[in-house]
Structure 1
């Protein structure tokens, strides 16, 4: 089987656990893993010192997170791509899954217990609105 599995990351260890789970699934299915990091604003800051100028943006930070995770997961057997996507995390994952015609979205179960379950979570929103299958990885305990 071929196709794309989308996983969302935010730089946290729980997101990394979900990404490792997604990599295993992609390898098993012969799919490409697509790592996505969301950004919700176009905030940009410019820093300078002498003739040097640096531009830091939310989109750039999100892309850096996705790229770092993708680089750490890349194997010879499983293709891994990455992108930054605009929107709240659940919206961004759903949009990327639709854009790439993904087979599946993998998310962690963080914030699915206690008050987070009442207020909502990324996993809950994705599960109810995804255009494809959703796998909720257990990320709230040591593996």
Structure 2
């Protein structure tokens, strides 16, 4: 098995499309796929109902987002692991790639067109700063 592939998700349809493309790349390259959702604050909240008590955190919410995307994919034959990473999305993906010695980061092309191209985007930031290959998935197509 080759080095893992990292894909960033945020619960949006475009991120799911990027995850689908990342899965196909992982399948073709015989690589593990790590589906990462970023969280930028480290808050937690305790919720109590009767004698039951739950602690909910931003990290838990991000992990849940990644788990939902993984559940929506046809992962047959590919090891797919959901995860949460602290930081702004681009920073979180870069950190996850470094921690996992990833061969590639897959991001969608959302906000690469129009003003996003001028103001910046997650894909642009990742492409400029990654120590591994970056695949920018076309998420504008059906």
**What is aligned with 2:109?**
109
Stretches of structure 1 lacking an aligned partner (at least 5 in a row): none
Residue 3 of structure 1: SS of its match in structure 2? strand
Runs of 4+ in 1 over 3 A off after TM superposition: none
- Point out where structure 2 has 5 or more consecutive residues left out of the alignment: none
- CA contact under 8 A between 1:85 and 1:96: conserved in structure 2? yes
Q: Following superposition of structure 1 onto structure 2, how do residues 1-143 of structure 1 map, counting pairs within 5 Å?
A: 2-73=2-73, 75-142=75-142
Q: Is contact 1:73-1:80 (8 Å) kept? A: no
Aligned length: 142
- 3-state SS of paired residue (1:47): strand
Q: CA RMSD in A?
A: 1.2
Instruction: Return the TM-score normalized by structure 2.
Output: 0.95
Matches of 1:98 and 1:54 in 2, distance apart? 32
